[in-house]
A and B are shown apart, each in its own frame.
Chain A
Amino acid sequence: MRILFKTIKLASLALLLGLSVSATARAQNAKIELGQLDHLGSKASETVDVNIDERLMQITAKFLSGKDPDEVKIKQLVNGLKGIYVKSFEFEREGDYSQADIESIRSQLRNPAWSKILNVSSKKEGSIEVYLLTNASQVDGLVVLATDPKELTIVNIVGPVDLEKLSQLEGQFGVPELGIETKPKPKN
């Protein structure tokens, strides 16, 4: 009897350990490696580099006001997120970044866990690819890879994200619209 209890206890522990490890592994899978793009910072005229990990996300969420309606929206959006990582480079000239740089990101997204839900490409205006890491009906991660002859932007959100709410955020919470789609393109 005692041996049976010991076995059950060990099995439960192993199960818990396995579940936690798989959950952690899944959460970590949603984060893609962006460090290989750091060398582009020296070539870029403008760089945006945002790294908010889970700890910072929790601290930030605590400091977001629960009364301000704009901040409430952000709080709801970032609730449960485990990280947001953004790298955006804007270059003076075309060809300052290579296809190998983009490929280093795409290769990570070829994992079967990721699914490309959107790919809009144009030779003139570049392309936008949206990848999702889904688990059953829940979105566990998002990657937006936007390339332009003079711009390269990667957004990686780790955790459950509401795409509709996120796409509607532009122009809200006192932030002016970036108007990226209306940005005049220099004729080459």
Chain B
Amino acid sequence: MNDDYLWDRTGEPDPEIQQLEQVLGMLRYEPRPLKLPAQVRRGQPRTFFPRIAIAAAVATMLVGGAFWLLLPRQDTSVDLGSASNRQAVEKSKAPANAATPTKDEVVAESKVINNALENKPIRSGVHKGLMVRNKQVSPLQRRGTELTAIDRAEAQVAKEQLLLALRVASAKLSLAQKKAQGSYPGSLIRNHHKVG
């Protein structure tokens, strides 16, 4: 028995091989389009989900930002329990028309305030009454004040120049008017102004 059938399908076939061919032939490749089973449902593409997610994220950020801006900061004030601190606060709340403190009182008060401030970290919301503000002028503000000073100096010079210019203009106009009055019956300038 030769194996030509297995090689090129010539010669005498073996019945067992033919049977195997029949069984396996059911599974051979056939070029046809895919047919989905009837049970499988084709749904809409779920493109809405990313949109909702983005909208939710934006809304969350907005609400969070609003809370951050609107809610008052927690005021962890200086411990006012101690007598010295209380004294400092009472003094800071004293009316403006109270008697002017002496130099010693001011020094003592500032020491008390400094002690009170040292008990807390700087950024922990120091009591506003005790807060010593270092009035620092930003470079922009400083530039603004410098500009004002320059403007003032410039305006002063310009004012003098303006007066000089008006003086010259007035003198020449006045002279022209007087000369015209001497040679003409009326002032041309005045007449023109009335017409205009």
Contacts and interface: CB of A to CB of B under 8 A. Distances in A.
Interface of A: 48, 50-52, 56-57, 59-60, 62-64, 74, 77-78, 84-86, 88, 117-118, 120, 122, 128, 130, 132, 134, 137-139, 142, 144, 146, 153, 155, 157, 162-164, 166-170, 173, 175, 177-178, 180-181
B172 A153 contact: yes
Interface string B58-92: 00000000000000000000000000000000000
B183 A120 contact: yes
Residue from B151, B156, B173, B176 whose CB has the most chain A CB atoms within 10 Å: B173
Contact of A63 (B152, B164, B171): B152
Given A52-B162, A120-B179, A59 B171 contact: no
Contacts of B189: 117-118, 130, 163-164, 167
Chain B interface helix/strand/loop/mixed = helix
B173 A59 contact: no
Interface string B131-156: 00000000000000000000110111
Contacts, number: 126
A155 B166 CA distance: 9
Contacts of A88: 168
Given A50-B164, A163-B193, 5 more contacts: A118-B176, A130-B176, A163-B192, A175-B163, A181-B179
Residue from A57, A118, A139 whose CB has the most chain B CB atoms within 10 Å: A118
A155 B172 contact: yes
Contacts of B190: 164
A52 B158 contact: yes
A117 B191 CA distance: 10
Given A59-B151, A117-B189, A78 B162 contact: yes
Contacts of B196: 134, 137-139
B159 interface: yes
A155 B179 contact: no
B169 interface: yes
B167 A180 contact: no
B188 interface: yes
B163 A155 contact: no
A173 B152 CA distance: 21
B176 A170 contact: no
B175 A180 contact: yes
Contact of B158 (A56, A137, A138): A56
Given A63-B152, A118-B188, A120-B183, A163 B173 contact: yes
